[in-house]
């Protein structure tokens, strides 16, 4: 079976029923990096609405609370009405259904990311009917990850260049 990857823009509001094209961009975002912000920036022309879903996984130890992560991300997009930020703690396809989203937006930095996201895309399409849009990381962000930023913070290094600045 072919992987469920949507790599083409299919344009605007659904003309048959007038609904908005909504995509969800999900992750733990602990912290939200310049790479994440670049994916949102590049996805905005493709969607009428993007919901950034901050995943809450009780088994995962995070540097910041989910509430703090939502607050920080929401402040970055306070001037962009097409971007909303919410937490979720269930399956991504269930979050997509609640948000009336037909698409999951994912960033890909490497072949390892690609293979993982391809498998997830197939499952999400099978169980939830949601398509996945992959946006490949810009070269300058390929090595930026939340775990790398947390590691630098742990050792007292500056991470300013890896975190987005509110404009």
pLDDT in single tens digits along all 167 residues of the chain: 343 344 433 344 443 355 789 999 999 999 999 999 999 999 999 999 999 999 998 888 899 999 999 999 999 999 999 999 999 999 999 999 999 999 999 999 999 999 999 999 999 999 999 999 999 999 999 999 999 999 999 999 999 999 998 76
Task: Pick the catalytic residue from 16, 60, 112, 166.
Answer: 60
Query: Which 3 state secondary structure label does DSSP give 71?
Result: helix
In this prediction, residue 5 carries a pLDDT of 40
Q: State yes or no: is 89 an active-site residue.
A: no
Architecture field, domain 21-157: 3-Layer(aba) Sandwich (3.40)
pTM value > 0.75 = yes
Is residue 147 part of the annotated active site? The answer reads no
Q: Can you give the pLDDT at residue 166?
A: 78
pLDDT value of position 18: 53
106 is catalytic: no
**164 vs 83: CA distance, rounded Å:** 15
The whole-angstrom separation of Cα 144 and Cα 155 is 16
From the list 42, 49, 86, 109, the catalytic residue is: 109
> What residue segments make up the domains of the chain, in order of their start?
21-157
E strands present in 28-115:
49-55, 83-88, 103-108
Taking the C-alpha atoms of residue 137 and residue 106, their distance in angstroms, rounded to an integer, is: 10
146 is catalytic: yes
Catalytic: which of 4, 21, 28, 36?
Answer: 36
pLDDT at res. 58? 84
């Amino acid at each position: 079976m072919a992987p469920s990857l949507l790599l083409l823009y299919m344009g605007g509001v659904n003309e048959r029923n007038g609904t908005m094209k909504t995509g969800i961009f999900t992750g733990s975002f602990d912290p939200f990096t310049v790479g994440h912000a670049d994916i949102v920036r590049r996805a905005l022309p493709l969607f009428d609405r993007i919901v950034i879903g901050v995943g809450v996984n009780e088994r995962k130890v995070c540097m910041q609370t989910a509430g703090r992560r939502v607050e920080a991300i929401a402040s970055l997009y306070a001037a962009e009405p097409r971007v909303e930020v919410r937490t979720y703690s269930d399956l991504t396809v269930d979050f997509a259904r609640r948000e009336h989203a037909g698409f999951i937006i994912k960033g890909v930095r490497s072949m390892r990311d690609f293979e993982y996201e391809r498998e997830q895309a197939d499952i999400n399409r099978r169980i939830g009917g949601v398509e996945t849009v992959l946006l490949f990381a810009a070269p300058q962000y390929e090595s930026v990850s939340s775990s790398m930023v947390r590691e630098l913070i742990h050792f007292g290094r500056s991470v300013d260049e890896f975190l987005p600045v509110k404009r």
